[in-house]
Amino acid sequence: MTATACWAANAYSPPGPARPDSSQVFAPSIGVPEDIANANSMACLAARTAGSGADRLTVDMGDHLGRPSTVTAAVHHDGLERRIRVGGRAAIVRTLVR
């Protein structure tokens, strides 16, 4: 058995009658208790849900943290491969330069 490291977890809630998709990303092992807007997790989520017929996702993130953001992912098929494009809206709160 091979050990693998997990540095983040993504909690996804599909849409309901009165609520949109929502997602939360937790990565405390790299110093991010909760990420407000995360494009990497959206690309993975889009790849995972593409097989069920969902080629486009729009997910709200960060609402309960007071930093609402919307991230969209679209899966494009050309017969040979799938490409995923991710985009959205978020507010820059602070910039860190290391």
- Predicted TM-score (pTM) of the model is 0.68
Report long-range pairs for 47-56 (Cβ below 8 Å, ≥24 apart): 47/75, 47/82, 47/84, 50/75, 50/82
CATH domain 9-89 topology: Diaminopimelate Epimerase; Chain A, domain 1 (3.10.310)
Which pLDDT belongs to residue 85? 92
Mean pLDDT of the chain: 80
Assess whether pLDDT exceeds 80 at residue 27: yes
**pLDDT tier at 18, thresholds 50, 70, 90:** confident
Q: What is the pLDDT of residue 1?
A: 57
pLDDT beyond 80 at 28: yes
pLDDT band at 9 (very low <50, low <70, confident <90, very high): confident
DSSP structural state of residue 51: G
CA pair distance 31, 43, nearest whole angstrom? 21
